[in-house]
Amino acid sequence: MITIKSETELNKMRYAGKIVAGVFEILKKEIKPGVSTAHIDKIAYDYIMQNECTPSFKDYNGFPASICTSVNEEVVHGIPGGRILKDGDILSADVGACYQGYHADAARTYPVGNISPEAQRLIDVTRESFFEGMKQARAGNRIGDIASAIQQYVELNGYSVVRDLVGHGVGAHLHESPEVPNFGRPGRGARLQAGMTIAVEPMVNMGHYDVYTMDNDWTVVTSDNSLSAHYENTVIITDGEPEYTTLR
């Protein structure tokens, strides 16, 4: 069931989103060659906890860390640990925070040191595909309008959108209805209403859209070993322009 949030609920989500955005402000300075993904996770955990929130992902269905750190061909759900970031890597950080029972969820892909122009273009197109989708994110439109706009922008730029994973509603639960794919046809899916809150998250591969899950039962990687980027924000649907809780 899709829930329409009250202003009190939205304010809690706004605060959680502010904290997620704060994590990214710190991470973009800390992500560099020689740093471990465990270090990145610890920084995020400390900031979230110091600001009256809890990490949404910690122990979620057994996930063992506070954030997801996915490197290069890893699409999502990378588990932080001893991996040391190298010059030329790209790192997708997926962060969630919960404040008084309400969640915000967002992701960014960062360069590690000096990356190739091709990798930077992938990051840029992934980010821009989100905002192409947001041109359709207003009350009265449908989920498929967002999904179609994202897919068209990505494919016109020569990349592919992952189809096995989708965005989602978010609020009192980290994952709620409706599902928000990054591909599809306009005019399909749930109708958007003011007060809906959704996490829209293009996952874009440089190669084919096929993916598989590693033996750790969490980390999803590209089947052809191509690079993947991820960009996500928690979005409040309004009668006008969408509101982004996880952007500063």
Domain borders along the chain are 7-237
Instruction: Give the model's pLDDT for residue 101.
Output: 98
Q: Which of 197, 181, 201, 199 is nearest to 189 (CA)?
A: 181
The structure's pTM equals: 0.97
* pLDDT tens profile 102-145: 999 999 999 999 999 999 999 999 999 999 999 999 999 999 99
Q: How far is CA 246 from the centre of its chain?
A: 10
| Euclidean distance between CA atoms 59 and 65, whole angstroms | 7
Average pLDDT of 9-22?
98
Question: Quick one: pLDDT band at residue 42, thresholds 50, 70, 90?
Answer: very high
Fold of 7-237: Creatine Amidinohydrolase (3.90.230)
Residues 6+ apart with CB under 8 A from 1: 177
| Euclidean distance between CA atoms 135 and 241, whole angstroms | 8
* pLDDT tens profile 80-104: 999 999 999 999 999 999 999 999 9
